[in-house]
């Protein structure tokens, strides 16, 4: 069982970094961070050193002629994070050459009537999907039920 070290937190110099306070008191840097937060003391002077660097790189770059993949590569972050930043900042960027943005397949090219009447296998062929289960899963997520003999069709409201 761990022992709790008694530290006079009120007498600490909160202008120091968490690691310096931790070393002086024989506790972990994480414990200092927790106490600092609980006592509502100012953040450690170097807390921001690694936070937001990809975001700041995206803010500084001209993304109007770049795809999200290119932005992610330049900012040295994931494509998902780059897309999130571009959306949050409302920065312009180039749509990928294949025309898709979030989805791998062009689901919107299938009309509501086609969803109701075509089999999943047919939809998969139209969209170029090799695995029919992908279409079935998409249909279920959207709440689109195929027409069956004597069964009404129900759609989930988005």
Digit-coded pLDDT (tens) for 40-85: 998 887 766 655 578 888 888 898 888 888 888 888 888 888 888 8
- Check: CB of residue 89 under 8 Å from CB of residue 59: yes
Nearest to 42 by CA among 13, 63, 74: 13
Entry field: residues in the chain: 158
pLDDT, tens only, 90-112: 888 887 665 555 566 777 788 88
Mean pLDDT across 114-142: 88
Burial of 40 (0-12, 13-18, 19+ CB in 10 A): exposed
DSSP secondary structure letter of residue 65: T
DSSP state of 94: P
Which residue has better confidence, 158 or 18? 18
- Residues 6 or more apart in contact with residue 102 via CB below 8 angstroms: 83
pLDDT at 150: 53
Mean of the per-residue pLDDT values of the chain: 81
């Amino acid at each position: 069982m761990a022992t709790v070290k008694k530290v006079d937190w009120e007498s600490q110099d909160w202008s120091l970094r968490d690691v310096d306070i931790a070393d002086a008191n024989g506790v972990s840097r994480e414990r200092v961070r927790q106490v600092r937060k609980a006592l509502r003391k100012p953040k450690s002077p170097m807390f921001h050193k690694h936070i937001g660097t990809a975001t700041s790189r995206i803010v500084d770059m001209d993304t109007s002629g770049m795809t999200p993949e290119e932005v992610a590569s330049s900012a040295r972050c994931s494509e998902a994070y780059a897309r999130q930043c571009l959306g949050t900042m409302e920065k312009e960027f180039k749509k990928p050459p294949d025309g898709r943005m979030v989805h791998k397949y062009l689901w919107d090219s299938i009309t509501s009537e086609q969803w109701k009447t075509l089999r999943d296998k047919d939809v998969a062929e139209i969209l170029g999907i090799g695995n029919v289960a992908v279409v079935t899963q998409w249909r279920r997520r959207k709440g689109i039920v195929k027409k069956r003999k004597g069964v009404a069709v129900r759609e989930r409201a988005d």
